Amino acid sequence: MNHREITSIARAQLAIDLNCLESDFDRDDIVFCEAMDNPKRRPFARGERHFEMLTMGRAVIVSATADILPFVREQLMDKTRDDAFCMPFVHGQGLYFLPDELRLMPLLDDFSFEFVEREDIVGKLYAHKGFRHAIHYNDSHPRPDMLAMTATKGDKIVGIACSSSDCEKLWQIGIDVLPEYRGNGLATVLTNHLAIEILKRGKIPYYGTSTANIASQGVAHRAGFRVAWSCAFRGLFDGELTSPAG
């Protein structure tokens, strides 16, 4: 798949999640949508009150439940894209990456590497603690762990990259390396090799991190990803944060 095809598939999924039209992403204004539990949306947790705001570079798509949508519209309707994301009720901002130039990186000589299939993840990986950013530690999770790659030093797993099936086409990569083994490119290599294997299986890998996590963003860029969208997935209303969407 080329960049255009990958972006088109991701945009179609985001339209389902946000309850907007795919064409809305090409607009130059703010689009307001009532949040709906649409079939095939990515099953991130939502509370009764939900707020989410996303841009792929042009339009800002705002998706909120009916009780807060009028307030959100009033506050944002005349704002620029940058000002909208700086509003005081907007929280939980993240960057999301899609494959760009994925070239297979050489493995590091000091470690051994192994792919772990879905049916073996529970038995082989869940007993190893310290990798909560990579694996769910929950065999009944609505976004199940599908494929992992491990890095082992001696007989100890020191790094795991794992993908969760967030929807039919998109598998999200999470990565964790034990603190004493960070800083040598291990996270980048694991992410790169896992992403390429996911593409070989006909799925699209994507990667998310907070806007403040510079180290994680660096991993994504070095592994061959590019920023595809920015999302705020929490809102502060009446003194309470909405439940996170991702």
Q: pLDDT tens for residues 126-157?
A: 999 999 999 999 999 999 999 999 999 999 99
Percentage with pLDDT > 70 across the chain: 98
pLDDT exceeds cutoff 70 at 244: no
85: which 2 tokens?
């994301």
Instruction: Give 181's contacts (C-beta < 8 A, 6+ positions apart).
Output: 151, 153, 158, 159
CA distances from 147 to 12, 111, 177, 221 (A): 24, 19, 17, 21
Backbone angles phi, psi at 191, to 5 degrees: -65, -45
Percent of the chain with pLDDT over 90: 94
Query: What confidence tens digit (pLDDT) does each residue in 203-233 have?
Result: 999 999 999 999 999 999 999 999 999 999 9
**70-105: per-residue pLDDT in tens?**
999 999 999 999 999 999 999 999 999 999 989 999
pLDDT in tens, 21-36: 999 999 999 999 999 9
Q: What does the block give as tokens for 186?
A: 């291990």
The band of 62, judged by pLDDT with boundaries at 50, 70 and 90, is very high
As a whole number of Å, the end-to-end CA separation of the chain is 26
Write out pLDDT tens, residues 142-195: 999 999 999 999 999 999 999 999 999 999 999 999 999 999 999 999 999 999
Residues of the chain with CATH 3.40.630.30: 112-223
Contact of 129 with 160, CB cutoff 8 Å: no
The total number of residues shown for the chain amounts to: 246
112-223 is a CATH 3.40.630.30 domain: yes
What pTM was computed for the model?
0.95
Q: Is the pLDDT of residue 20 over 60?
A: yes
pLDDT band at 245 (very low <50, low <70, confident <90, very high): very low
pLDDT of 74: 97
Bridge partners of residue 93, in order along the sequence: 232
Cross-strand bridge partners of residue 123:
none
Give mean pLDDT, residues 115-126. 98
